[in-house]
Amino acid sequence: MSLVNFTTREITCKIVYYGPGRSGKTTNLHYIYGRVPDSRRGRMVSLATQTDRTLFFDFLPIDLGQISGFSTRFQLYTVPGQVYYNATRRLVLQGADGVVFVADSQARQLDENLESLQNLQSNLLEHGVDIRTVPLVMQYNKQDLPRELILSTADLDDALNFRGVTSFRADALHGVGVFETLKGISELVLKKLAAGAPA
Amino acid sequence: MTAPAAYGPALDLVTRVRGVRGAMLVSGEDGIVVAEQLMEGIKGGAVAALAASLAARLRRAIDAAGVGPTLFWHLQCDKGGLLVVPTPSGVLIVAVAEPDVNVGLVRLELLRAAEAVG
Amino acid sequence: MTTRAVEAWTLEPLVKFVKEAGARLVLVMTSAGQVMAQHGFSRAVDVMSAAALGAAIIASTDEIARQLSQPPFAALNHQGERHGIFLGSVITGRGKLVVLAVYDLETSSLGLVQLFFEQLTGDLQAASPKEGVSKQVLAADFERELSDSLNTLFGR
């Protein structure tokens, strides 16, 4: 849940990048880390296995500056994508203000995407949250791969985007769509906050 | 340091002295109670934490004075006192006593308990 | 050393705890890792990393406790060579809060931190208001400012 300090006029929001293993969640954060000036970001924390697979989460705090007179900070988290780590994945989701679902656009990964999306739904439910009420955007990553290997964004929308939320075409490794995705989710999260926040 | 089974008898040595309201073995490093025999109303955890903190500060003062390691200290208070003997292993033997306790006897038993604990 | 609180009611209990327990760094945060109050950190973004990790440790151990069908662990302590890290949680009127304290083994101890943590939990419980009502936060036209901020952030 967003933390709003009316005295010092600060807002802190938690955004979670969710999706199947190797879909590019950590790559999104690495790209953001690389582009944001030092003064506007904290240390990137990665709790990873020896083979660089996310074990618990990656974490990157960024400072957006002043928005509507509030000093606004976002905490970006990724979850471990591998099925095996569901317990930790569920923990990271706790208190999320918004979710970016990073799907792997490869046709052979469709089942994994679907499974991860269902997993997101059930893990949110365990926290007492209905997926339909959470600010959510979809990112279809790896759209740079040869066309015969991937599904089009329209096909992916048909298969995964049952809520009809905003979706973004991305190649996170080279930064394509990363910024747009972050902007998309930020708007949704702050819009929800603008509608009423805990005092 | 000896095995935990020896802690009870070591504390018995101290608590059997008339006027002693409780005795504890306290880890000097972290201020945690290792073993205790206390009468109702004594906050063992608080006494342990604060005694260990005091012991660390006293050690610094004593080091600065160059008078060798602490053997025994006694805090005399209005309604009783705190008597402490540190062991070489870093454990503190702490006694909480009434005002009219025989301090010499408690000191002797604390030193014997320290020897038993090691 | 700076002591700051997002919500004013947390400040006095925190200041008291820092002084009495001799803690070097302290964070009071929500169970999701949002910082409510802090002592000793200089940059807000560094505080957030520590909070994220502290909240994750508590969340992990709570989950282990749940899987063992027992109540959450009361507190955790990690003893280092020069510093100790203490983590505990407290239920307040504002929900569950997690406290992370880093203490210097030369000047404090686990016993002291534990002792004054008990006092801190009582003070926080007594001072915490109940969940507040909703308040309007952002102006309706925040999107343009957000867009400008993100553009600046990404050098666009």
pLDDT category at B1 given cuts 50, 70, 90 is: low
| Domain assignment present for C156 | no
Q: Which chains touch B (3 or more CB pairs under 8 A)?
A: C
Cβ contact B30–C79 (<8 Å): yes
Q: Which of C32, C53, C143 sits opposite A45 (nearest CB)?
A: C53
Q: Is residue C133's pLDDT more than 50?
A: no
Q: Which tokens in the block code for residue B2?
A: 């000896």
Q: Is residue C134's pLDDT more than 60?
A: no
Asked which of A48-62, A113-127, C101-115 is least confident by mean pLDDT, the reply is A48-62
Q: Does the CB of B53 have a partner CB in chain C at under 8 Å?
A: yes
C 4-23 near A (Cβ less than 8 A):
4, 6-8
CA distance C57 to chain A (A): 10
pLDDT of residue C104: 93
Q: Is residue A198's pLDDT more than 60?
A: no
Task: Write out the H or E segment, with its range, that includes residue A150.
Answer: none
Contacts of C79 in chain B (CB under 8 A): 30
The span from the CA of C91 to the CA of B118, in Å, is: 42
Average pLDDT, chain C: 87
Cβ contact B45–C111 (<8 Å): yes
Cβ contact A75–C52 (<8 Å): yes
Contacts of A7 in chain C (CB under 8 A): 6-8
Cβ contact B49–C105 (<8 Å): no
- Output the CA angle C28-C32-C33, nearest 5 degrees: 45
Contact B118, B25 (CB under 8 A): no
| Domain assignment present for C54 | yes
Closest to B110 measured CA to CA, from B95, B91, B89, B100: B95
pLDDT of residue C140: 65
Model confidence over A123-137: pLDDT tens digits? 999 999 999 999 999
Q: Does the CB of C83 have a partner CB in chain B at under 8 Å?
A: no
Q: Is residue C15's pLDDT more than 90?
A: yes
Percent of chain B with pLDDT over 90: 81
pLDDT of residue B97: 97
SS percent in chain A: helix, strand, coil, step 5? 40, 30, 30
CA A150 to chain centre: 21
Which residue matches tokens 């679907």? Answer: A114
**Span A182-189, average pLDDT:** 94
Q: Is residue A199's pLDDT more than 50?
A: no
Q: Is residue C137's pLDDT more than 70?
A: no
**Span C48-69, average pLDDT:** 89
Q: Which of B26, B29, B49 sits opposite C115 (nearest CB)?
A: B49
pLDDT of residue A67: 86
Report helix, strand or coil for C39: strand
Task: Give the residue numbers spanning the domain of C97.
Answer: 3-145
Contacts of B48 in chain C (CB under 8 A): 111
Q: DSSP strand E in B15-103: where? A: 20-27, 32-38, 73-77, 80-86, 91-97
Sign of torsion, CA C100 C106 C111 C117?
A: negative
Contact A21, A81 (CB under 8 A): yes
- Return the CA Rg of chain B: 13
Neighbour count for residue C24 (Cβ, 10 Å): 17
**Span B72-98, average pLDDT:** 95
Task: List A150's β-bridge partners, or say none.
Answer: A106
Cβ contact C109–B50 (<8 Å): no
CA distance B37 to chain C (A): 18
Q: Is residue C5's pLDDT more than 60?
A: yes
Contacts of C83 in chain B (CB under 8 A): none
pLDDT category at B44 given cuts 50, 70, 90 is: very high
Cβ contact C115–B30 (<8 Å): no
Model confidence over A141-175: pLDDT tens digits? 999 999 999 999 999 999 999 899 999 999 999 99
Q: Does the CB of C146 have a partner CB in chain A at under 8 Å?
A: yes
Neighbour count for residue A77 (Cβ, 10 Å): 26
Q: Does the CB of C52 have a partner CB in chain A at under 8 Å?
A: yes
Average pLDDT, chain B: 92
Closest to B94 measured CA to CA, from B108, B110, B117: B110
Q: Domains (ranges, CATH) in chain A?
A: 3-195 (3.40.50.300)
Which residue matches tokens 């040869």? Answer: A146
Average pLDDT, chain A: 91
Closest to A159 measured CA to CA, from A127, A122, A116: A116
Q: Is residue A5's pLDDT more than 80?
A: no
CA distance C106 to chain B (A): 8
Q: Is residue A69's pLDDT more than 90?
A: no
Domain count of the fold of chain C: 1
ipTM, two decimals, is 0.79
Percent of chain A with pLDDT over 90: 70
Q: Is residue C136's pLDDT more than 60?
A: no
The contacts of residue C41 (CB under 8 Å, 6+ apart) are C2, C25, C27, C47, C50
| Domain assignment present for C154 | no
SS3 string of C62-74? HHHHHHCCCCCCC
Closest to A81 measured CA to CA, from A137, A123, A31: A123
**Span A58-84, average pLDDT:** 90
Q: Does the CB of B45 have a partner CB in chain C at under 8 Å?
A: yes
pLDDT category at C43 given cuts 50, 70, 90 is: confident
Contact A175, A35 (CB under 8 A): yes
CA distance C12 to chain B (A): 21
Which listed CATH number (3.40.920.10, 2.160.10.10, 3.10.180.10, 3.30.450.30) goes with B4-117?
A: 3.30.450.30
Q: Is residue A9's pLDDT more than 90?
A: no
As to burial, measured by CB atoms within 10 angstroms (0-12 exposed, 13-18 middle, 19+ buried), residue A46 is: middle
Asked which of A1-15, A21-35, A79-93, A120-134 is least confident by mean pLDDT, the reply is A1-15
Residue C64, domain CATH = 3.30.450.30
DSSP code for A41: B
CA distance C15 to chain A (A): 18
Q: Is residue C39's pLDDT more than 90?
A: yes
pLDDT category at C146 given cuts 50, 70, 90 is: confident
Q: Do chains A and B touch (3 or more CB pairs under 8 A)?
A: no
pLDDT of residue C111: 94
Cβ contact C109–B56 (<8 Å): yes
CA neighbours within 13 Å on the CB side: how many for A194? Answer: 17
Neighbour count for residue C108 (Cβ, 10 Å): 26
pLDDT of residue A68: 83
Q: Is residue A1's pLDDT more than 70?
A: no
- Return the CA Rg of chain A: 16
| Domain assignment present for C89 | yes
Q: Which tokens in the block code for residue C123?
A: 């003070």
The span from the CA of A110 to the CA of A157, in Å, is: 12
pLDDT of residue A48: 84
pLDDT of residue A53: 83
Percent of chain C with pLDDT over 70: 92
Q: Which tokens in the block code for residue A31?
A: 């790209």
Asked which of A11-25, C9-23, C57-71, C131-145 is least confident by mean pLDDT, the reply is C131-145
